[in-house]
Structure 1
Amino acid sequence: MLRSYRVLAISLASLASANGAFADPPKSPTVSPAKQVVLISFDAARDISQWQRSRALAKRTGAHFTYFLSCVFLLSPETRLHYAGPGKAAGKSNVGFGASKQDVADRLEQVRMAAAEGHDIGSHACGHFDGKDWSKADWLAEFASVRRIFENAYAINGIPEPAGWRDFARHTATGFRAPYLSTDKALYEALPEAGFEYDASGVSSGPVVPPTLNGTTRFALPLVPEGPKAKPVVAMDYNLYVRHSGGTEKPAMSDAFTERAYQAFRAAFEAQYNGKRLPLELGFHFTLMNNGAYWNALERFADEVCVKPQVECISLRDYVARQRAGQTQAGVGG
């Protein structure tokens, strides 16, 4: 059709007036591809310097992160008895507690600043216990501890409380990631009752669009090819740490591990960026494993991709909000 139109235009050109030229017919509008979404999260969120480092990375790249906070880090050694995990004695935790009252105060300040900068503050439970055998009542008890300690953290530790803190603490944590990514049926029964909108405890064979089941959006860390043999590994720093060095420190190999991790992140990104553009999720801890290899890889990766015009590095909370807003809009229009 287009070819015949152009032939007709050429045959009539000689009859046109001097200031009348035929133009090609208008082209169909090009549909822009969806932006590539990258979802970066951190577990435990303990070390103050890592809070600062991650927030600096976000500022220079325009990214927004999700921080899954373990609430025991809002208790000092003196106030640790305010927490008792399901079936555990008071003051027990698999990951310790805040180092001091000042350490807790500094962490609370980092939480407040990160939230003010648009980051997502989620929950990583409290004592980092394995809940794979917990009942729904156990999970609800743990979630109750999370919210009570988070809301009352300043008062519990005798730290002057800023205005608006309790309202902020009551509503901010809408997402959860289970310690050890260890889940059971009871967890997914408890999550909506506890007010959580999303869970990020899953693992998938590759990037996927997170489904929403029984009111809870379920994110999954994907398996991504890594290393000389492109063997799949969960896209999380700890899993890379175990893959590279058996879970023990090998600082002399840090640069090589950084390069391997970066190449794995970048290859997983390129596969989606040049393909279906499914959201890519990457997980990290505040622990600097193998002399910081995985944070170094993260910074190189984020510095390169989060600034691209067709890329959005956003929090899990914001992704859920967008998806649900889109579903509501489709329902209204449909």
Structure 2
Amino acid sequence: MRRFTTGERPPQFVIFSFDGGGYADRWRLFLDTAKASQATFTVFMTGTYFVPEASRTDYTPPGNEPGKADVAFSKSDEQLATLLTNLNRAVNEGHELGSHAVGHLCKGTSNEVGATWTATQWGKELDQFTSLFQRAKDRAPELIGEPLLADPNTVEGFRAPCLEYNREALIPALADRGYRYDSSAIATGVEWPTHDDGLWEFPISTVYFNGDRTLTLDYNLWLRFNGGKDRPEVAPAMRARTTEVYDTVLASVLAGNRAPLVIANHFNNWSGNAFNPATADFMADACPRPDVQCVPFTVVVDWLELQTPDYLNNMRAEPTGHIDIPTNGD
């Protein structure tokens, strides 16, 4: 953590980020991998996981009936206790918790969604995330026998469900509530963050297959590789291909503009669990390298705010990292 001088190469930050945070075994996989790999990461929590199914109507999504959500609520106190235990371990080991809103409401499934919400509606959603998280925190001593270390009132980062949002509505709502960054935009390659309207914007990195832009996000790679079909029999090959893509983009950005590489994922079991093991493989290989720092968004924000505007502008002026991935039948 220091100010760099003009012409000095910055650290190569790799930011592993996960949307949702509901799968207990995925928490264990990445907590264990990170601990062994000198890595820390960010999880954008989905608010329904803090709410028991019996209390689902306590959530009132903007423009929809109470209890409407596209993801599950907590099925039992035991499930919630497991989540809170994992959150305490995560905070103890230096990981960051961000917000992924509450109901994960997306186009085609709900009356009104993030892409159409006003700033007032986004504010309601963000405030409910905080209050429902706080309710779970208040229950932690009863459920796990100790306080919850995470503080919902100090969450600093956000990613919009399905990356659907109206910037003119969302960003003011985030800034008014003290958020420091957003990671809902899509890059044209691997780009340096910008600071606009009071927030740092970390666009999700992208690569190109035959000129077709694809996010470094597990779901989008799944669509690229086989159209999102559930084919567990090819999970080993898909796992290897995913890790190969991550290796290629890291090598390119290390030799190129050194912009923070944003790897966006989910705690999922898609297509025979092809993607979480691939991300863990990449984490285990990349993060111990002396020229790589695998850290949460907030650490990069702190570093960015130490740098001079001239230094950051010079880095942004470098090529944005249009990375072509050799096709392998993709």
TM range (shorter): 0.7 to 0.9
CA–CA separation in structure 2 for the residues paired with 1:163 and 1:170: 19
Work out whether 1:299 is the aligned partner of 2:270.
Answer: no
Structure 2 spans left out of the alignment, 5+ residues:
1-6, 107-113, 312-330
Contact 2:13 2:295 in 1 (8 A): yes
Work out whether 1:113 is the aligned partner of 2:95.
Answer: no
Can you list the C-alpha shifts for 1:205-226, whole angstroms capped at 9, x where unaligned? 1011100101100011122135
Can you list the C-alpha shifts for 1:15-41, whole angstroms capped at 9, x where unaligned? xxxxxxxxxxxxxxxx87322111110
Aligned runs of 1:215-230 on 2, under 5 Å? 215-226=198-209, 229=210
Aligned runs of 1:194-273 on 2, under 5 Å? 194-226=177-209, 229=210, 231-273=212-254
Counterpart in the other structure of 1:90:
66
Q: CA RMSD in A?
A: 2.1
Amino acid at match of 2:165: T
Greater Rg by CA: 1
Counterpart in the other structure of 1:42:
18
Work out whether 1:176 is the aligned partner of 2:152.
Answer: no
Counterpart in the other structure of 1:54:
30
Structure 1 spans left out of the alignment, 5+ residues:
1-30
Report deviation, 1:162. 6.4
CA–CA separation in structure 1 for the residues paired with 2:61 and 2:53: 16
- Report the secondary structure of 1:325's partner residue: coil
| Cα distance change on mapping 1:268 and 1:230 into 2, 3 Å | farther
Report deviation, 1:275. 2.0
Contact 2:99 2:129 in 1 (8 A): yes
| Cα distance change on mapping 1:158 and 1:306 into 2, 3 Å | closer
Work out whether 1:102 is the aligned partner of 2:102.
Answer: no
- Report the secondary structure of 1:68's partner residue: strand
Match of 1:141 among 94, 104, 124: 124
Counterpart in the other structure of 1:16:
none
TM-score, normalised via structure 2 length: 0.84
Work out whether 1:77 is the aligned partner of 2:53.
Answer: yes
Amino acid at match of 2:185: G
Match of 1:187 among 151, 156, 170: 170
Match of 1:151 among 134, 142, 148: 134
Considering Cα pairs closer than 8 Å and 6+ residues apart, tell me whether 1 or 2 has the greater RCO: 2
Contact 2:137 2:147 in 1 (8 A): no
CA–CA separation in structure 2 for the residues paired with 1:258 and 1:43: 19
Report deviation, 1:163. 6.3
- Report the secondary structure of 2:52's partner residue: coil
Work out whether 1:63 is the aligned partner of 2:39.
Answer: yes
Taking only the aligned residue pairs, the percentage that are identical comes to 28
- Report the secondary structure of 2:184's partner residue: strand
Can you list the C-alpha shifts for 1:275-317, whole angstroms capped at 9, x where unaligned? 2211111111001212121122212211111110111011111
| Cα distance change on mapping 1:321 and 1:162 into 2, 3 Å | farther
Contact 2:47 2:129 in 1 (8 A): yes
Can you list the C-alpha shifts for 1:101-120, whole angstroms capped at 9, x where unaligned? 11011111211210111101
For these two proteins, the number of residue pairs brought into alignment is 296
Amino acid at match of 1:44: G
Amino acid at match of 1:181: L
TM-score, normalised via structure 1 length: 0.83
Amino acid at match of 1:250: R
